[in-house]
Amino acid sequence: MSELHEVAGGLQPFFRSRWVPPPAHVRELEVDAGLPAGFRAAGVAAGIKHSGNPDVGLLVCESEGPASAARFTASGTAAAPVLLSLERCRLGALRAVLANSGCANAATGARGLEDAAKTQGAAALAAGVEPSEVALASTGSISHHLPVEAVIKGILEARARLSRDGDGDFQRAIETTDAFEKRASLEVQLTSGPVRLSAQCKGAGMISPRFATMLCFVETDAQLAAETADLLLGVCVKRSFERASVDGQLSTNDTAILMCSGASGVSIAPESEDELRFGEALDALLRQLAIMVVADGEGAGRIARVIVRGGRAQSVEAVARAVANSPLVKAALHGGDPNWGRIVQSAGAALPGTAPLAVDVAIDGIPVCAGGAAIRYDEAALAQAVQGAEVEYEVGLPGDGAETEVFFSDLSHEYVTVNAEYTT
Amino acid sequence: MSELHEVAGGLQPFFRSRWVPPPAHVRELEVDAGLPAGFRAAGVAAGIKHSGNPDVGLLVCESEGPASAARFTASGTAAAPVLLSLERCRLGALRAVLANSGCANAATGARGLEDAAKTQGAAALAAGVEPSEVALASTGSISHHLPVEAVIKGILEARARLSRDGDGDFQRAIETTDAFEKRASLEVQLTSGPVRLSAQCKGAGMISPRFATMLCFVETDAQLAAETADLLLGVCVKRSFERASVDGQLSTNDTAILMCSGASGVSIAPESEDELRFGEALDALLRQLAIMVVADGEGAGRIARVIVRGGRAQSVEAVARAVANSPLVKAALHGGDPNWGRIVQSAGAALPGTAPLAVDVAIDGIPVCAGGAAIRYDEAALAQAVQGAEVEYEVGLPGDGAETEVFFSDLSHEYVTVNAEYTT
């Protein structure tokens, strides 16, 4: 890790959280190492954003037999690009992704779907593929119509710029209020040879994904069956983006897509050692990205993991979400305040009618509450622990056998500022 | 209203929200008009709070045949005073309330229950009643043990100061981060004569009551059966405190108590015209108090009501709570930002798997979204509407027959400041 870090010129390593130890067979490449073989990308400024920043991204997989998988938001008010991708795309054999920022194309009704379809058609022409092979992803303000002309102009420009090194521009074209880049380039050593794995991801606000993330695109030159890609993406999204929350707000546009070009010639068979290795690498990649999304929660200064153990899966999930989404817990995290009473309060609120609930709480390994009651602890050590960049809360409920975790950010003044002034 | 207002010397009237028109048979008295006949109260500084502010309150009903009713938090980690009151009190015939601020006596286990019982015993001695006739209520930091000696000293001092005019001191003894007083004194004209109704209430943070409120004490000199008091309090709490949210955080200590001395000699028979009148007065009183609790949400600058209508009770409730507790909606409310896309997003998040959901949204009577899609509206009028002190959101879901509302506050910098620095 530290060696790679120095090679990369003093930048932080990608695997920077204590909660994601990189698997032994995974090597970090420089972030600008370029896309895996078989992929080209570009990002351009098409004028959707008033700032003039990049806002249209095109990602193309040049492969005869591509495999892919996708996950989308569960929102009842899912955006037009999500609905269209779900209804019209061959999600197991995608050859391109058209992404834009600056406009979510959500709450736009039938016209929103028509607009999305027009841009899908234009992207298909540009990439030389069928419209059903182009997935769409949008992010930005909800309720505005997509400026179709601008997007199509952007597609044409992006087409002319497609390159193996275009992932950085593609990344910038999907960002909104992101404060730092969430992008990675990895090499995974399989038994039959090395494969590449890269990802571009955006987050920041309106983050509490279920069945998907904000926007995340993953590319590999490994050869996988669509079923394998779907299985691996599904498992890894569940363990990463679905365990992350900035503000408890499921977005209208969450999308995660894995595309496999097969260009390395290294094939990953189902239930093989290589599937395990690749799965571990994908898992670590998405977990670190999810933590980076949380760490880049609008205005976030400190992040936390809450682990909840107990006898019932439903209860541990409810308590983990309640703790992670409590503005009181998040404000205390922000202030470096060891106010664990709010952890107990959140747990009790999540499980009404269970009083007196025998809840245990530990913070960074220091037990502070047992069986629902305060216990003695080293106050100085606790005060020190909650000043760290990553704070860990463990909550124990009666019984055992069920366990879950949620990564979350603090609640800061910056979050209020960003979100009180976003559209106006 | 305005006449009363002037009589009271330029103070704001109690009924100050456009959402609570005072019933015709209710007259506001000056806030310092004193308690209804049969009640005495006091509040003293016993040293629980480091600030030296009042922190122990005693309320006594001097009546041969008192009637009362109570509601408590549904939290699984309910505090010791809640558990003890529920288990040991004759809640239909209470003669006294011992309340304290500065310590919630929550997450304190068996010792917390013993401490609470000791103070209950001391308050019973001081009031000359049975321990089972003394309800307990605490508010303040969770996880600290109650300083029993200090509370008992406070009880003795409060006993010596009990008076008809003690409700102001009692009110101050239950406040924590409250920025303004939530107290009322009303006269209700019944067919058989006038009765008095008074209340003391505290709120501020950790506010999302279910089955109760933070702390609210209501006194009347009307004569009611315990069953009638229970029925009326239950209905009115459901329509007031249960529809209020500052931060979506159900407290460990929520308590609402109605006490009836009967000292006016005016009796309220079940299912009578007077029961209706008294119920309307109690309803208006608690709704206005709930709105004041929201308006005094830590750092709140602007409040809102979301009304959700649709075909299923469960869906309208889920959407109303999701909108009211969305930090994105609350931050937009704070900024006076007409960002109604976040209303659509919250609704969709609350009803996963229903896409495309035909949701309608109107803000202060201006329709902005119909059938899930943006519609044309007067942007200047909307921008003006969201600058008001009270903003109203209406959400329409498919179907009809179900309707609910939630009152909520904005998310401000002050909330973050208050809650990042509360215990340290």
What CATH number should be reported for the domain holding residue A378? Answer: 3.10.20.340
Question: What is the predicted ipTM?
Answer: 0.83
Q: Between the CA of residue B226 and those of B91, B230, B276, what are the distances in Å?
A: 9, 6, 16
Amino acid at position B169, single letter: D
Interface test with B, best of A86, A103, A105, A143 (most B CBs within 10 A): A143
Domain boundary among A295, A328, A362: A295
Q: How many CB pairs under 8 A join A and B?
A: 268
B376 in the same domain as B274: no
Coil, strand or helix at B360: strand
| A251 vs B110, B205, B345: nearest CB | B345
Contact B189, B27 (CB under 8 A): yes
Torsion, CA A336, CA A338, CA A341, CA A344, rounded to 10: 90
H or E, element range at B284: helix B273-295
Residue written as token pair 């037999």? A65
Is the bond into A21 cis (omega within 30 degrees of 0)?
no
Average pLDDT, chain A: 91
B253 in the same domain as B128: yes
For A248, the closest chain B residue by CA position comes to: B326
Q: Checking DSSP bridges between strand B255-260 and strand B39-44, what pairing results, if any?
A: unpaired
B177 in the same domain as B139: yes
pLDDT for res B1: 30
B-chain CB neighbours of A106 within 8 Å are 341, 344-345
**Of B119, B139, B213, B255, catalytic:** B213
B391 in the same domain as B258: no
| B252 vs A108, A110, A345: nearest CB | A345
For B72, the closest chain A residue by CA position comes to: A353
Which of A129-138, A337-346, A414-423, B280-289 shows the lowest mean pLDDT across its residues?
A: A414-423
B-chain CB neighbours of A208 within 8 Å are 349
What is the Cα–Cα distance from A220 to A258, expressed in whole angstroms?
A: 8
pLDDT for res A249: 81
Interface test with B, best of A84, A252, A328 (most B CBs within 10 A): A328
Q: What residues are paired with B255 via a beta bridge?
A: B72, B215
A251 in the same domain as A308: no
Coil, strand or helix at A156: helix
For B340, the closest chain A residue by CA position comes to: A143
Domain boundary among B251, B273, B295: B295
- Dump the DSSP string for B214-261: SEEEEEE-SB--HHHHHHHHHHHHHHTGGGEESSS---S--EEEEEE-
Structure tokens at A364: 């960074």
| pLDDT tens for chain B, residues 1 to 424 | 333 333 334 468 999 999 999 999 999 999 899 999 999 999 999 999 999 999 999 999 999 889 999 999 988 999 999 999 999 999 999 999 999 999 999 999 999 999 999 999 999 999 999 999 999 999 988 889 999 999 999 999 999 999 999 999 999 999 988 888 899 999 999 999 999 999 999 887 676 666 656 899 999 999 999 999 999 999 999 999 988 888 888 888 899 999 999 999 999 999 999 999 999 999 999 999 999 988 887 777 899 999 999 999 999 999 999 999 999 899 999 999 888 999 999 999 899 889 899 999 999 999 999 999 999 999 999 999 999 999 999 999 999 999 999 999 999 888 888 888 755 4
A267 in the same domain as A159: yes
Domain boundary among B260, B295, B330: B295
A-chain CB neighbours of B205 within 8 Å are 328
What is the Cα–Cα distance from A319 to B23, expressed in whole angstroms?
A: 42
B264 in the same domain as B131: yes
CATH number, domain containing residue A51: 3.60.70.12
Residue written as token pair 């909606």? B329
pLDDT for res B161: 98
Identify the CA nearest to A138 among candidates A50, A217, A56, A218. Answer: A56
**B337–A421 CB contact, under 8 Å:** yes
Structure tokens at B192: 């058989």
Structure tokens at B60: 């006594």
pTM of whole model > 0.90? no
A82 in the same domain as A165: yes
**B341–A142 CB contact, under 8 Å:** yes
A164 in the same domain as A25: yes
- Establish how many alpha carbons lie within 13 A of residue B387's alpha carbon, considering only the half-sphere containing its beta carbon: 7
Q: What residues are paired with B309 via a beta bridge?
A: B396, B403
**B356–A112 CB contact, under 8 Å:** no
State how far residue B270 is from chain A, nearest Cα, in angstroms: 30
| Domain total in chain B | 2
A334 in the same domain as A218: no
pLDDT for res B11: 66
Contact B254, B205 (CB under 8 A): no
B74 in the same domain as B8: yes
Please work out, in degrees rounded to the nearest 5, the angle formed at the alpha carbon of residue A39 by the alpha carbons of A35 and A43: 75
B282 in the same domain as B344: no
Burial track A123-154 (b if 16+ CB lie within 10 A, e otherwise)? bbebbebebbbbbbbbbbbbbbbbbbebbbbb
Domain containing residue B141: 2-295
Residue written as token pair 């409310």? B333
B204 torsion bin: left (phi>0), alpha (psi -120 to 50), beta (else):
left
